[in-house]
Amino acid sequence: MPSRRDVLIGGAAVALSTSALSVARAAAHSRAKDPASLAPDESYWALTAGAYAVDGRYIILHGGGNNPHPRAVTSALATYDQMASSAPRPHNYTLLGRKEQIRTRLAAHFQCAVDELAITRNTTEGLNIVAWGLDLQAGDEVLISEYDERYAGAVFEQRAARHGIVLKTVPLPVSPSAEDVVARYAAMMTDRTKLLVASHLTDGWGFVLPIRGLSHLANSAGAQLLVDGALSFGHVPIDVKALGCDYYATSLHKHLTAPLGTGALYVRPDRLQALWPLYGVRYDAGDIRKFEAIGTRSGPTIAAIGQALEFYEQVGPANKAARMRYLSSLVQSALEDVAGVRFITERNPALRTGLARVAVDGMTGKALTSTLRDDYRINTYGNFPGPDDGVYISPNLFNSARHMQVFATAIREIAARSG
């Protein structure tokens, strides 16, 4: 007799069809829907989901970490790897030769110039490039929000320990107003403040921080702004010029679903010359490629970013952003009045993204993660000690409305048992 979790999963599994994404695009085009009206169209998104190679035994909701690849990416990566390994000297470098084409396409999505964007290995590398590349002196201050302590905080803690810089944490409530965020940073700034660090999208809550306001605050005081965009690129449209930030680091293996070990770093052109690379290089100080000279790199990994970008472009950034918001809102609606359950995320639909955190009274996020995995085969992430501990959900294009319903049902059952 099938278990409860098998019944749930069986009803929710995405059918992995061989339909090309172009079929889904044609269907969407024929209906001429805008992103908001396309978001709940399950027939369209089922075709899109079919372009992914997903293990149907699981519901994967941890897109903020890494994701299954679209089949086109998986296939390209395998083909390129076989090509490179058959004769590494010519073929790996042939594939690496596509890097400039990739850079051009990425820059178009960042809405920046080609020579302002480095292709890195992940967000952490980008954060480290800025953290160690700035000429910070003992006593210089770096302000970082409490949302960023988990990741960017570790980078600057080491710099503080070695060089005596002062790291100050800016406390932020869940779903603060844009004005409140800027005011809280401003209240902690002094004439020794050299750098502000902020996430574009907050980890787990899905709140969009007012990067433009923070950029103005920093630059007007002679400081700079570093943005952790790990959860943004491929999830919401990006315009770094409109944001006004000095640096923007992101990963491509998260929401874009590019191969692991791919990321990008934007550096404002007037900051490039003075920013040291992590490694000793012979590139000119004004060349963005100085940040990429780390020794031998994988040509297949770099080249396969192209397939991930093509897939993202076919779906459409605005369409994807609307779909992610819609999926997250389904969970919010389903759990809004459930006893013992808290849906911790941005309430304003205009500011909300697809990221959210769900908490069950009496359970740690770590325990809730394990229960969802072991009893329901739902993969999430949760380990946020504190009053807002819970599981972090981050859907992607392989997820369906049914997946979100299954997740909500599981949470209700767990809450009933826990209570």
Domains and CATH numbers, the chain: 4-64+316-418 (3.90.1150.10), 74-309 (3.40.640.10)
pLDDT of residue 101: 96
pLDDT of residue 241: 97
pLDDT of residue 369: 94
pLDDT of residue 13: 33
pLDDT of residue 1: 46
pTM value surpassing 0.85: yes
pLDDT tens digits in sequence order for the chain, 419 residues long = 444 444 333 333 332 333 445 545 545 554 557 999 999 999 999 989 999 988 889 999 988 777 899 999 999 999 999 999 998 888 888 999 999 999 999 999 999 999 999 999 999 999 999 999 999 999 999 999 987 877 788 999 999 999 999 999 999 887 778 899 999 999 999 999 999 999 998 876 778 889 999 999 999 999 999 999 999 999 999 999 999 999 999 999 999 999 999 999 999 999 999 999 999 888 899 999 999 999 889 999 999 999 999 999 999 999 999 999 999 999 999 998 899 999 888 777 667 788 888 999 999 999 999 999 999 999 998 877 777 789 989 999 999 999 999 999 999 999 999 86
pLDDT of residue 15: 29
CA neighbor of 106 nearest in space, from 284, 319, 292, 322: 292
Task: Please give, one letter per residue, the 3-state secondary structure of the chain.
Answer: CCCHHHHHHHHHCCCCCCCCHHHHHHHHHHHCCCHHHHCCCHHHHHHHHCCECCCCCCEECECCCCCCCEHHHHHHHHHHHHHHHHCHHHHHHHHHCCHHHHHHHHHHHHCCCHHHEEEECCHHHHHHHHHHHCCCCCCCEEEEEHHHCCCHHHHHHHHHHHHCCEEEEECCCCCCCHHHHHHHHHHHCCCCEEEEEEECECCCCCCECCHHHHHHHHHHCCCEEEEECCCCECCECCCHHHHCCCEEEEECCCCCCCCCCCEEEEECHHHHCCCCCCCCCCCCCCCHHHHCCCCCCCHHHHHCHHHHHHHHHHHCHHHHHHHHHHHHHHHHHHHCCCCCEEEECCCCCCCCCCCEEEEECCCCHHHHHHHHHHHHCEECECCCCCCCCCEEEECCCCCCHHHHHHHHHHHHHHHHHHC
pLDDT of residue 23: 45
Enumerate residues 6+ apart whose C-beta is below 8 A from 301.
77, 259, 260, 261, 262
pLDDT of residue 345: 81
